[in-house]
Amino acid sequence: MTVELTQREDSNKQLIDMLRRSRMFRDYENVFTKATGLALTLRPLEFWQLAHRGKKHENPFCAMLAEHPKSLAVCLQSHQEMIDHTGLLPHTVTCPFGLTETAIPVKLGADVVGYLRIGQILRHTPAKSDTKKVTRELERCGLNFTGELRKAWEKNPLIPPDKYNAIVRLLSFFGEQLSALTNQLVLERQNIEPPLVQKAREFIDKHKTEALSLSTVAQAAGASLFHFCKVFRKSTGLKFTDYVARIRLEDARTQLLNPNRRISEVAYDVGFQSLTQFNRMFKRVFGQSPTEFREHLNGGATRKPARVLSNND
Protein backbone atom coordinates (compact mmCIF):
# COMPACT_ATOMS: atom_id res chain seq x y z
CA MET A 1 0.00 0.00 0.00
CA THR A 2 1.45 3.38 -1.02
CA VAL A 3 1.81 6.32 1.37
CA GLU A 4 -0.64 8.31 -0.77
CA LEU A 5 -3.26 5.54 -0.56
CA THR A 6 -2.82 5.24 3.21
CA GLN A 7 -3.23 8.99 3.67
CA ARG A 8 -6.37 8.97 1.53
CA GLU A 9 -7.90 6.15 3.61
CA ASP A 10 -7.05 7.97 6.85
CA SER A 11 -8.60 11.16 5.47
CA ASN A 12 -11.76 9.25 4.53
CA LYS A 13 -12.04 7.81 8.04
CA GLN A 14 -11.70 11.28 9.53
CA LEU A 15 -14.49 12.56 7.27
CA ILE A 16 -16.81 9.69 8.21
CA ASP A 17 -16.10 10.29 11.91
CA MET A 18 -17.02 13.96 11.44
CA LEU A 19 -20.24 12.99 9.64
CA ARG A 20 -21.20 10.51 12.38
CA ARG A 21 -20.80 13.24 14.98
CA SER A 22 -22.77 15.77 12.92
CA ARG A 23 -26.20 16.90 14.08
CA MET A 24 -27.64 15.96 10.68
CA PHE A 25 -26.64 12.30 10.95
CA ARG A 26 -27.49 11.90 14.64
CA ASP A 27 -30.97 13.36 14.16
CA TYR A 28 -31.66 11.29 11.05
CA GLU A 29 -30.37 8.10 12.67
CA ASN A 30 -32.66 8.65 15.66
CA VAL A 31 -35.75 9.26 13.53
CA PHE A 32 -34.92 6.44 11.09
CA THR A 33 -34.47 3.89 13.88
CA LYS A 34 -37.70 4.89 15.59
CA ALA A 35 -39.63 4.68 12.30
CA THR A 36 -38.21 1.37 11.04
CA GLY A 37 -36.78 -0.43 14.08
CA LEU A 38 -33.60 -1.00 12.05
CA ALA A 39 -30.02 -0.13 12.90
CA LEU A 40 -28.45 2.51 10.67
CA THR A 41 -24.68 2.80 10.51
CA LEU A 42 -22.20 4.96 8.65
CA ARG A 43 -18.87 3.30 7.96
CA PRO A 44 -15.71 4.32 6.09
CA LEU A 45 -14.65 2.65 2.85
CA GLU A 46 -12.10 0.49 4.66
CA PHE A 47 -13.94 -1.22 7.51
CA TRP A 48 -13.19 -4.83 8.43
CA GLN A 49 -15.80 -5.49 11.11
CA LEU A 50 -19.54 -6.19 11.03
CA ALA A 51 -21.28 -2.89 10.32
CA HIS A 52 -24.03 -3.16 12.96
CA ARG A 53 -22.06 -4.90 15.72
CA GLY A 54 -22.90 -3.38 19.07
CA LYS A 55 -25.67 -1.12 17.75
CA LYS A 56 -28.81 -0.78 19.88
CA HIS A 57 -31.02 -2.35 17.19
CA GLU A 58 -28.60 -5.02 16.02
CA ASN A 59 -30.42 -8.18 14.93
CA PRO A 60 -30.13 -10.69 17.85
CA PHE A 61 -29.66 -13.59 15.41
CA CYS A 62 -26.74 -11.79 13.74
CA ALA A 63 -25.31 -10.90 17.16
CA MET A 64 -25.25 -14.60 18.07
CA LEU A 65 -23.53 -15.50 14.79
CA ALA A 66 -20.85 -12.88 15.51
CA GLU A 67 -19.90 -14.68 18.73
CA HIS A 68 -18.68 -17.77 16.87
CA PRO A 69 -15.51 -17.54 14.70
CA LYS A 70 -16.75 -19.66 11.77
CA SER A 71 -20.15 -17.99 11.41
CA LEU A 72 -18.51 -14.60 11.98
CA ALA A 73 -16.16 -15.34 9.07
CA VAL A 74 -19.13 -16.15 6.82
CA CYS A 75 -20.83 -12.86 7.77
CA LEU A 76 -17.66 -10.82 7.22
CA GLN A 77 -17.12 -12.39 3.81
CA SER A 78 -20.71 -11.62 2.79
CA HIS A 79 -20.36 -8.02 3.93
CA GLN A 80 -17.08 -7.59 2.09
CA GLU A 81 -18.53 -8.98 -1.14
CA MET A 82 -21.34 -6.43 -0.88
CA ILE A 83 -18.86 -3.56 -0.50
CA ASP A 84 -16.72 -4.88 -3.36
CA HIS A 85 -19.75 -4.65 -5.66
CA THR A 86 -21.07 -1.31 -4.46
CA GLY A 87 -20.15 1.54 -6.77
CA LEU A 88 -21.90 4.88 -7.03
CA LEU A 89 -25.33 3.27 -6.54
CA PRO A 90 -26.80 1.31 -3.59
CA HIS A 91 -26.16 -2.43 -3.62
CA THR A 92 -28.25 -5.09 -1.86
CA VAL A 93 -27.26 -8.68 -1.11
CA THR A 94 -28.68 -11.67 0.73
CA CYS A 95 -26.23 -13.41 3.06
CA PRO A 96 -25.87 -17.23 3.30
CA PHE A 97 -28.21 -17.13 6.32
CA GLY A 98 -30.99 -15.54 4.25
CA LEU A 99 -30.81 -11.98 5.60
CA THR A 100 -30.73 -8.88 3.41
CA GLU A 101 -28.10 -6.11 3.72
CA THR A 102 -27.71 -2.89 1.73
CA ALA A 103 -24.83 -0.44 1.30
CA ILE A 104 -25.55 3.13 0.16
CA PRO A 105 -22.52 5.18 -0.94
CA VAL A 106 -21.52 8.53 0.55
CA LYS A 107 -19.28 10.54 -1.76
CA LEU A 108 -16.73 13.31 -1.76
CA GLY A 109 -16.99 14.72 -5.25
CA ALA A 110 -16.97 11.67 -7.52
CA ASP A 111 -15.17 9.41 -5.00
CA VAL A 112 -16.89 7.10 -2.52
CA VAL A 113 -15.60 7.71 1.03
CA GLY A 114 -18.03 5.56 3.01
CA TYR A 115 -21.36 3.75 3.17
CA LEU A 116 -24.67 3.97 4.96
CA ARG A 117 -25.52 0.43 6.00
CA ILE A 118 -28.92 -1.09 6.78
CA GLY A 119 -30.39 -4.57 6.74
CA GLN A 120 -30.29 -7.75 8.80
CA ILE A 121 -33.87 -8.38 7.68
CA LEU A 122 -35.95 -10.94 5.78
CA ARG A 123 -37.80 -9.80 2.66
CA HIS A 124 -40.22 -12.73 2.57
CA THR A 125 -41.65 -15.27 4.97
CA PRO A 126 -39.17 -18.18 5.17
CA ALA A 127 -40.23 -21.34 3.36
CA LYS A 128 -39.10 -24.84 4.41
CA SER A 129 -36.36 -24.66 1.80
CA ASP A 130 -35.04 -21.44 3.38
CA THR A 131 -34.97 -23.00 6.83
CA LYS A 132 -33.12 -26.06 5.50
CA LYS A 133 -30.57 -23.83 3.81
CA VAL A 134 -29.92 -21.92 7.03
CA THR A 135 -29.66 -25.22 8.94
CA ARG A 136 -27.01 -26.51 6.52
CA GLU A 137 -25.05 -23.27 6.66
CA LEU A 138 -25.05 -23.30 10.46
CA GLU A 139 -23.94 -26.92 10.51
CA ARG A 140 -20.97 -25.98 8.32
CA CYS A 141 -20.08 -23.48 11.03
CA GLY A 142 -20.43 -26.11 13.76
CA LEU A 143 -23.70 -24.67 15.13
CA ASN A 144 -27.01 -26.37 15.82
CA PHE A 145 -30.17 -24.62 14.68
CA THR A 146 -31.87 -25.07 18.05
CA GLY A 147 -32.58 -23.27 21.30
CA GLU A 148 -31.93 -19.54 21.52
CA LEU A 149 -30.45 -19.44 18.03
CA ARG A 150 -33.65 -20.89 16.55
CA LYS A 151 -35.80 -18.47 18.57
CA ALA A 152 -33.73 -15.52 17.38
CA TRP A 153 -34.08 -16.65 13.77
CA GLU A 154 -37.85 -16.94 14.09
CA LYS A 155 -37.97 -13.33 15.36
CA ASN A 156 -36.01 -11.91 12.42
CA PRO A 157 -37.66 -8.68 11.22
CA LEU A 158 -39.65 -9.08 8.02
CA ILE A 159 -39.96 -6.18 5.56
CA PRO A 160 -41.63 -6.85 2.17
CA PRO A 161 -39.53 -6.03 -0.93
CA ASP A 162 -41.57 -2.98 -1.99
CA LYS A 163 -41.34 -1.40 1.46
CA TYR A 164 -37.63 -2.25 1.81
CA ASN A 165 -36.90 -0.77 -1.62
CA ALA A 166 -38.67 2.42 -0.55
CA ILE A 167 -36.50 2.59 2.58
CA VAL A 168 -33.38 2.20 0.46
CA ARG A 169 -34.61 4.93 -1.86
CA LEU A 170 -35.14 7.32 1.06
CA LEU A 171 -31.68 6.52 2.40
CA SER A 172 -30.25 7.24 -1.05
CA PHE A 173 -31.61 10.78 -0.76
CA PHE A 174 -30.06 11.06 2.68
CA GLY A 175 -26.78 9.73 1.26
CA GLU A 176 -26.80 12.60 -1.22
CA GLN A 177 -27.32 15.07 1.64
CA LEU A 178 -24.41 13.54 3.54
CA SER A 179 -22.28 13.75 0.40
CA ALA A 180 -23.04 17.46 0.16
CA LEU A 181 -22.14 17.87 3.84
CA THR A 182 -18.89 15.99 3.23
CA ASN A 183 -17.85 18.47 0.55
CA GLN A 184 -18.77 21.35 2.86
CA LEU A 185 -16.74 19.91 5.75
CA VAL A 186 -13.68 19.47 3.55
CA LEU A 187 -13.86 23.07 2.36
CA GLU A 188 -14.33 24.36 5.91
CA ARG A 189 -11.43 22.30 7.22
CA GLN A 190 -9.16 23.51 4.43
CA ASN A 191 -10.12 27.13 5.12
CA ILE A 192 -10.03 27.03 8.91
CA GLU A 193 -7.51 24.41 10.04
CA PRO A 194 -3.86 25.56 9.91
CA PRO A 195 -1.63 23.56 7.53
CA LEU A 196 0.62 22.42 10.39
CA VAL A 197 -2.41 20.85 12.14
CA GLN A 198 -3.40 19.06 8.92
CA LYS A 199 0.15 17.72 8.61
CA ALA A 200 0.14 16.65 12.26
CA ARG A 201 -3.19 14.82 11.91
CA GLU A 202 -1.95 12.94 8.85
CA PHE A 203 1.32 12.01 10.58
CA ILE A 204 -0.50 10.84 13.72
CA ASP A 205 -2.99 8.73 11.73
CA LYS A 206 -0.14 7.10 9.84
CA HIS A 207 1.96 6.34 12.96
CA LYS A 208 -0.75 6.01 15.64
CA THR A 209 0.22 2.45 16.58
CA GLU A 210 3.84 3.50 17.16
CA ALA A 211 5.42 5.40 20.03
CA LEU A 212 4.66 9.05 19.25
CA SER A 213 6.45 11.93 20.91
CA LEU A 214 5.37 15.55 20.85
CA SER A 215 8.71 16.67 19.41
CA THR A 216 8.54 14.11 16.58
CA VAL A 217 5.06 15.22 15.49
CA ALA A 218 5.98 18.91 15.80
CA GLN A 219 9.00 18.31 13.59
CA ALA A 220 6.86 16.43 11.04
CA ALA A 221 4.45 19.38 11.02
CA GLY A 222 7.33 21.80 10.44
CA ALA A 223 6.86 23.85 13.62
CA SER A 224 8.70 24.60 16.82
CA LEU A 225 7.58 22.71 19.90
CA PHE A 226 6.06 25.77 21.59
CA HIS A 227 4.25 27.00 18.46
CA PHE A 228 2.96 23.51 17.65
CA CYS A 229 1.47 22.97 21.13
CA LYS A 230 -0.27 26.33 21.06
CA VAL A 231 -1.75 25.98 17.56
CA PHE A 232 -2.64 22.27 17.85
CA ARG A 233 -4.61 22.68 21.08
CA LYS A 234 -6.39 25.80 19.83
CA SER A 235 -7.43 24.00 16.62
CA THR A 236 -8.40 20.59 18.07
CA GLY A 237 -9.43 21.63 21.57
CA LEU A 238 -7.25 18.83 22.95
CA LYS A 239 -3.77 18.40 24.30
CA PHE A 240 -1.50 16.38 22.03
CA THR A 241 -1.48 13.31 24.33
CA ASP A 242 -5.28 13.32 24.71
CA TYR A 243 -5.79 13.61 20.96
CA VAL A 244 -3.49 10.64 20.24
CA ALA A 245 -5.13 8.57 22.99
CA ARG A 246 -8.61 9.15 21.59
CA ILE A 247 -7.59 8.27 18.06
CA ARG A 248 -6.24 4.97 19.41
CA LEU A 249 -9.33 4.37 21.54
CA GLU A 250 -11.64 4.63 18.52
CA ASP A 251 -9.60 1.90 16.82
CA ALA A 252 -9.65 -0.15 20.02
CA ARG A 253 -13.43 0.02 20.35
CA THR A 254 -13.79 -1.36 16.82
CA GLN A 255 -11.34 -4.20 17.51
CA LEU A 256 -13.11 -5.12 20.75
CA LEU A 257 -16.17 -6.06 18.69
CA ASN A 258 -14.21 -9.17 17.69
CA PRO A 259 -14.79 -11.62 20.58
CA ASN A 260 -11.60 -13.51 19.71
CA ARG A 261 -9.32 -10.56 20.52
CA ARG A 262 -7.99 -10.26 24.08
CA ILE A 263 -8.33 -6.83 25.66
CA SER A 264 -4.61 -6.66 26.39
CA GLU A 265 -3.84 -7.64 22.80
CA VAL A 266 -6.08 -4.85 21.49
CA ALA A 267 -4.56 -2.29 23.88
CA TYR A 268 -1.01 -2.91 22.71
CA ASP A 269 -2.05 -3.34 19.09
CA VAL A 270 -3.52 0.17 18.87
CA GLY A 271 -0.45 1.75 20.44
CA PHE A 272 -0.90 1.85 24.23
CA GLN A 273 2.19 0.84 26.20
CA SER A 274 0.28 0.20 29.43
CA LEU A 275 -2.87 -1.85 29.94
CA THR A 276 -3.68 0.21 33.04
CA GLN A 277 -3.51 3.44 31.06
CA PHE A 278 -5.66 1.92 28.32
CA ASN A 279 -8.36 0.84 30.78
CA ARG A 280 -8.35 4.23 32.52
CA MET A 281 -8.57 6.24 29.29
CA PHE A 282 -11.24 3.94 27.80
CA LYS A 283 -13.51 4.43 30.82
CA ARG A 284 -12.85 8.17 30.88
CA VAL A 285 -13.87 8.61 27.24
CA PHE A 286 -16.61 5.98 26.80
CA GLY A 287 -18.02 5.85 30.33
CA GLN A 288 -17.29 2.15 30.85
CA SER A 289 -14.30 -0.15 31.02
CA PRO A 290 -13.28 -2.32 28.02
CA THR A 291 -14.52 -5.37 29.92
CA GLU A 292 -17.91 -3.76 30.60
CA PHE A 293 -18.16 -2.64 26.96
CA ARG A 294 -17.56 -6.20 25.73
CA GLU A 295 -19.83 -7.82 28.35
CA HIS A 296 -22.71 -5.56 27.37
CA LEU A 297 -22.23 -6.46 23.72
CA ASN A 298 -22.06 -10.20 24.25
CA GLY A 299 -24.69 -10.31 26.96
CA GLY A 300 -27.20 -8.15 25.12
CA ALA A 301 -27.53 -5.77 28.05
CA THR A 302 -28.28 -2.13 27.51
CA ARG A 303 -25.04 -0.23 27.19
CA LYS A 304 -24.27 3.07 28.79
CA PRO A 305 -24.18 5.79 26.15
CA ALA A 306 -20.70 6.71 25.04
CA ARG A 307 -19.62 10.12 26.14
CA VAL A 308 -19.36 12.84 23.55
CA LEU A 309 -15.73 13.82 23.15
CA SER A 310 -15.67 17.35 24.48
CA ASN A 311 -12.94 19.93 24.47
CA ASN A 312 -13.01 20.14 28.24
CA ASP A 313 -11.96 16.55 29.00
Yes or no: say if 282 and 270 are a contact pair by the CB < 8 Å rule.
no
Query: What is the CATH classification number for the domain harbouring 236?
Result: 1.10.10.60
- How do residues 257-290 score in pLDDT, each as one tens digit? 788 889 999 999 999 989 999 999 998 887 889 9
Task: Report the percentage of the chain scoring pLDDT > 70.
Answer: 89
Instruction: State whether 221 and 290 are in the same domain.
Output: yes
Which has the closest alpha carbon to 38: 168, 205, 202, 216?
A: 168
pTM of the model: 0.60
What is the pLDDT at residue 311? 38
Whether the pLDDT of residue 134 is over 90: the answer is yes
Domain holding 202, by residue range, is 195-299
In a domain, 312, yes or no: no
Phi-psi region of 200 (alpha: psi -120 to 50; beta: other; left: phi over 0): alpha
Number of domains in the chain: 2
Among 107, 110, 99, smallest CA distance to 58 is for 99
pLDDT at residue 285, rounded to an integer:
81
For position 310, what pLDDT does the model report? 39
34 with 69, same domain: the answer is yes
| Least trusted range by pLDDT, from 78-92, 157-171, 202-216, 217-231 | 78-92
- Amino acid at residue number 185: L
Same domain flag for 92 and 210: no
Local confidence band at 141 (pLDDT 50, 70, 90 cut-offs)? very high
Q: Are 16 and 211 in contact (CB under 8 A)?
A: no
pLDDT band of residue 7 (cuts 50, 70, 90) is low
Beta-bridged to residue 117, according to DSSP, are 41, 103
Last residue of a domain, one of 174, 189, 204: 189
Q: What is the mean pLDDT of residues 131-160?
A: 92
184 & 199 share domain: no
Q: What is the mean pLDDT of residues 213-241?
A: 90
pLDDT reading at 160 higher than 80: yes
Model confidence at 189, in pLDDT bands (50, 70, 90)?
low
122-130 — which CB contacts under 8 Å span 24+ positions?
122/98, 122/156, 122/157, 122/158, 122/159, 123/94, 123/158, 123/159, 123/160, 123/161, 123/164, 124/158, 124/160, 124/161, 125/158, 126/98, 130/98
Last residue of a domain, one of 152, 172, 189: 189
Residues 6+ apart with CB under 8 A from 31: none
Q: Name the average pLDDT for the chain.
A: 84
Determine the Cα angle at 184 with ends 181 and 188, to 5°.
135
Q: What is the predicted pLDDT for the residue at 250?
A: 83
